[in-house]
Structure formats: structure tokens, C-alpha cells
């Protein structure tokens, strides 16, 4: 069976993809922690960008509204037996951790199959709490009985280039259209 991988660096081009044509969506939304994702700034303003021109320090309601638009578009693109995998991390508001379980509100019309903890040995440091060295991967399916999961085709290898050793990151071998956005 032929594998087609559609890779976009942002969700801007998703409307160009046919509805119900993608078996798997894998996405990792912006962290919204004031990271400049390829944006070139001048005097505090974004002047050019590899993707959408937006600030990565939106208030929480605006950030969630933006994600709602993207997630709704993702749901339109997947087939009836499709899946959506979302990699997202905790957020911090005034020093308080906000776990990303609020993301499940956007997928009430889908079924949560797994929450994976992606643990890694690099990341930020802080002297006020333990460093956040993990992120969540949520796996949602459109149909709780009709979806693809073949354990033998999931391998748990990926070279961690920073430390030149293996890290537990899932690499999925997909048999139909796959849409990956970052």
C-alpha cells in the first residue's frame, strides 16, 4: 500500500487538503511561551516569518481559540477511521503549572485512546521547581472501534542528536495519507 506524507510547517495550508482524505494527523502546536518560531522581528514587531505571523505569547483565551480553529480543521481532514496525535506540554501561568488536559474539551466528539508521556533528558532549568523534562502525546480516534493500531509497525527508536543516544520517541509507519504539522 502506498504511503503519502503531507508535511506542513504550519496549519495555514490545511484548507488546501481534501476533507476526509487523511488517515493520521500528527501535530505539535506552538507552546505560546514567547518563542520566535522562525519569525524575524524588528523593534518588537514580526516583519517576516517562515509560517504565520503571530506572536507566541497570546493570552490564554486567544491561544485556545487559535488551537480550536486548527483542531477543528484537523478533524475535518481525517477519514472516518482516522486518528489525531497531539504533542503538547504543560503551560505556566504566573509560576503555576497548567497541565494540558484542557485539550480534551476540543475533542469531545472523538475518543481518547492513549495519553503518552514523552520523557526526555534535556530541557529548561529552574531553581523554583523540577525542570519540565516531559511532554504529553494525546491520541484521539474518530471511531472507537474502527481505527488503525498495529503494534508491530510502531518502533521506539529515534536518535537524540543532542546527546547522540537513543530516546523513547515513537516513529509511526503509516500506510495511507498522513498529515504532519508543527
- Domain parsing of the chain, residue ranges: 5-149+177-181
The whole-number average pLDDT for the span 135-158 is 77
Going through the chain in order, the beta strands assigned E by DSSP cover 5-8, 22-27, 40-42, 45-48, 78-88, 91-93, 96-98, 111-119, 134-141, 154-155, 159-160, 165-166, 171-172, 178-181
Q: Which of 55-64, 98-107, 110-119 has the lowest mean pLDDT?
A: 55-64
Into which CATH architecture does domain 5-149+177-181 fall? 3-Layer(aba) Sandwich (3.40)
Q: Which of 16-25, 43-52, 107-116 has the highest mean pLDDT?
A: 107-116
Distance CA 98, CA 102 (A): 9
pLDDT tens-digit profile of 125-145? 677 777 777 889 999 999 999
If one compares 45 and 52, the residue with the highest pLDDT of the two is 45
The mean of the pLDDT values for the chain is 75
> Residue 161: which pLDDT band, with cuts at 50, 70 and 90?
very low
The whole-number average pLDDT for the span 86-112 is 90
List all residues 6 or more positions away from 133 whose beta carbon is below 8 Å from its beta carbon: 119, 120, 121, 122, 123
Q: What is the pTM of this model?
A: 0.73
- The confidence score (pLDDT) of residue 53 equals 54
Q: Which of 21-30, 88-97, 147-156 has the lowest mean pLDDT?
A: 147-156
> Residue 68: which pLDDT band, with cuts at 50, 70 and 90?
very high
Residue 112 has pLDDT above 70, yes or no: yes
The whole-number average pLDDT for the span 12-37 is 81
Percent of the residues in the chain that have a pLDDT greater than 90, as a whole number: 26
Amino acid at each position: 500500500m502506498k504511503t503519502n506524507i503531507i508535511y506542513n510547517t504550519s496549519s495555514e495550508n490545511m484548507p488546501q487538503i481534501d476533507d476526509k482524505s487523511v488517515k493520521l494527523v500528527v501535530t505539535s502546536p506552538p507552546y505560546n511561551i514567547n518563542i520566535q518560531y522562525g519569525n524575524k522581528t524588528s523593534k518588537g514587531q514580526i516583519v517576516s516569518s517562515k509560517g504565520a505571523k503571530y506572536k507566541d505569547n497570546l493570552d490564554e483565551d486567544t491561544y485556545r481559540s487559535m488551537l480550536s480553529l486548527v483542531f477543528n480543521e484537523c478533524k475535518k481532514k481525517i477519514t472516518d477511521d482516522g486518528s489525531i496525535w497531539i504533542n503538547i506540554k504543560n503551560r505556566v501561568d504566573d509560576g503555576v503549572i497548567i497541565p494540558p488536559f484542557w485539550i480534551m474539551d476540543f475533542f469531545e466528539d472523538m475518543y481518547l485512546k492513549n495519553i503518552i508521556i514523552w520523557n526526555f533528558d534535556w530541557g529548561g532549568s529552574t531553581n523554583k521547581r523540577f525542570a519540565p523534562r516531559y511532554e504529553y502525546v494525546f491520541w484521539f480516534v474518530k471511531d472507537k472501534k474502527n481505527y488503525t493500531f498495529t503494534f508491530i509497525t510502531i518502533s521506539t527508536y529515534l536518535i537524540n542528536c543532542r546527546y547522540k543516544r537513543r530516546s523513547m520517541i515513537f516513529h509511526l509507519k503509516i500506510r495511507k495519507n498522513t498529515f504532519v504539522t508543527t
